[in-house]
Structure 1
């Protein structure tokens, strides 16, 4: 059964192993700037390139996961991601670095759509608590990576930390492939109508699903632009050494652990909309506050709170998504979500880098506080329709 302790452990640990790949590049970005003599815009472009490949892969992997065993998709994906990241660390030139980075992104894209679908189909009750533990497991792994790799960065360099980061993926890839209980059933067989979920009855309007995704895009654009540049902000804007900047950036994920676990205890689909609106409103001033010339302890606290709220909002958006996207297969719906989120995440670092090159860090932080405000406004406009759907 998919709810055994062994399966639960593999679910959470594998999530942590996958999430390491999402934030290893921001951690080593200050050193990549020097290695390849990059501008901030070009550095942001590397992040965007990597995440764009992951986004496209997420959509297709989500669709595929409705047809074939998800453990195989995720397990093989881990092998590909690990091989690509290790090769990228030892790449001789910039072009080969980009090629191996693309391979890494394709491997990374296999995990989240399949695992989100597995959780949604396995847990009909207590789903918020499972998602809370799931998000906390990933955030804990990222925090440990920033603490450990940040301490080692000055000693073993970029190649060393990229290799260390890939090792858990090799282990989890093997365990996932062997864990047949991770598959909640045989792959879905589409009906002749092409609608996997037709038996569920009437579906919410697709335009509501699209507008809800747009609200996610706007929020992610703000948060992930800052997060992907956070070590660089601490290094080049606040003047910390790269290893200290990595440790300071880890505070975001420390807050994320607390936020994920706290929110999971009171989140339900009928409350999630309100949490999204008020949480998004709080994110805007927190991002803008990082532009202030104040003691560093203030920025440390701000980053912790920012991470706490941002992580809590991910849980609530996923609870709503299953209602709004009921016309799609589970894997396909979460594949669309991950593709949209990752595309937004991929574009925002490049735009933030361009903004920093043109106007500096302080102005750029103020500018990037506005998309999340627009996200809250859009959710507020959609309130009547979303609340109706989340009560179904």
Structure 2
């Protein structure tokens, strides 16, 4: 039985070039980047090169990139840093109901500290209306944090329009771009983004490494205390092998982004066509027109999500019910609740399939057939 991995939105397999680079770094370039001897200088060169490439990939400059342990730390650093640095200007924060829990739980913690948070609703396709942001803005709003694209249903948010709305406002604009980076063109200056979070393991890089873009004029105090790494914004010896792997993953993702997006769309279309040919009843949770090319969230009436996932796993297909960060939770997806309401049947029968590196059209067809067989048994 061939196992087919369709959960790339949760994490992606490391690219062979990434593994090769990391192995070489661990064996040869093991110096501390803060050391002044040749070993340290060689490690420092890796960091400098990575910072330049990652900055260039989003239209930023090198000293605006802060290396972190991943998306969660990047989100937390941005949200807590901005809130505490600007609380003398106000204590109002705007976010959305469909954010990743790294954002939502950070905002909830700030509420316990006395900040006020407005959680914006979305329409039934999972999109935040720009007008709702405009109406929520107040003179004392200090931070707006809206994800670039959703990890569960794939909807792309109107980030540039929101950024334009904030040009003459004191609020700092942060976006969690963990799912979008490497698949969508991003320019922080064109979109007026002040802070942006990225994680390497979503683009076939290693786990445990990411970056936070921070515009040079944004005050962002460190949340870790120790050395003076990352221009005093993030203490701790840098994870050089992981950063080198991250750099390679970024290079690969930037080189073939267009072809990769097209391939993922073809995989998605093959999968959907197979379901249709087998007469499967399903609903798509979001619009194909404004979603990430690799994410497909489907509702199968008459099925149960837990039983579906078990049956899929038995035939070697890896999928999920949403965010991997809430695996094992019996609560329905907060994203689908925001889109459809608490009583909607889709909360109990929706599956996320997400395509990625290594998937073939043949696999998409096979997966579609296996899903069809399972759904037919339930819908019968």
Q: Same fold (TM over 0.5)?
A: no
The structure with more strand, counted as a fraction of residues:
2
The structure with more helix, counted as a fraction of residues:
1
The structure with the largest alpha-carbon Rg is 2
